Chain A
C-alpha cells in the first residue's frame, strides 16, 4: 500500500532541537516534502528532498534516505511560534500525499 507514518505529537522546550521522523511506503516516489500548518491556517512549504541527503534552510533542515524510505525534519533553536502541525508528504505524479501530521508543542 501507500502510506506515510510520523509521530502524532512531540513536545520540546524553547531553544531546543527536535527531530520529526517520517517513514513512507509507496510504489512511485518523486521526493519528500515538509509542510507546517498552524491551527486554522494553510499549509506552508518548509523543505523538499528529491535526493538522499540533508537540505538546510535556516533553522529547519530535512533529510532523506531513499534506501530506507525514511526522512526527517530537524528544527533547531525552537521558538514558541514553531508550535504547529508538521506534515511530511510525497509527490506521486504531481499529487501530494500527506502523512497524518505531527503536532509540535514548544514549551517555555
Chain B
C-alpha cells in the first residue's frame, strides 16, 4: 500500500522559533498533498492543499504567512510554522494523493509542542 512518512514525529521548541515538518510519499508520486491540524479530542481540520510546483491553497482562517507550505517535488511537501507560539501546539498531519480526487494516504503525524 501507499506509504507516507512525516519527520519529525515529535518536536518541542521555544516560543518565537520556526519549525519545519516534512511529509514524504515513499512509494508513489503525490501531485497533491494536504496539511491538517488536530487539537486534542477534536477533528482534523484542513489547513491547506498543496500541488506540486504551485502555491498552496489555504483554508479560510489559516495564515499563509505563518504556515509556509512548499511542495517542491512529487514526493515531498514541507510545512514551516514560523514564529511559533504555545497556541500552535498541536498534532500536524499530512496526507498525499496521486491526483486531487484520489484516495488520500495519511502520514503518522507530528506532535508540536511550543513552550
Contacts and interface: CB of A to CB of B under 8 A. Distances in A.
A98 B34 contact: no
A94 interface: yes
Given A43-B93, A44-B106, A94-B100, A100 B111 contact: no
Contacts of B95: 96
Interface in A31-67: 40-45, 48
B93 to A, nearest CB: 6
Interface stretch (B40-48, B67-75, B76-84): B40-48
Contacts of B46: 95-97
Residue of A40, A93, A94 with most partner-chain B CB within 10 A: A94
Contact of A45 (B32, B44, B103): B103
Contacts of B25: none
Interface of B: 32, 34, 41-46, 49, 91, 93, 95, 97, 100-101, 103-109, 111
Interface of A: 30, 40-45, 48, 87, 91, 93-101, 103
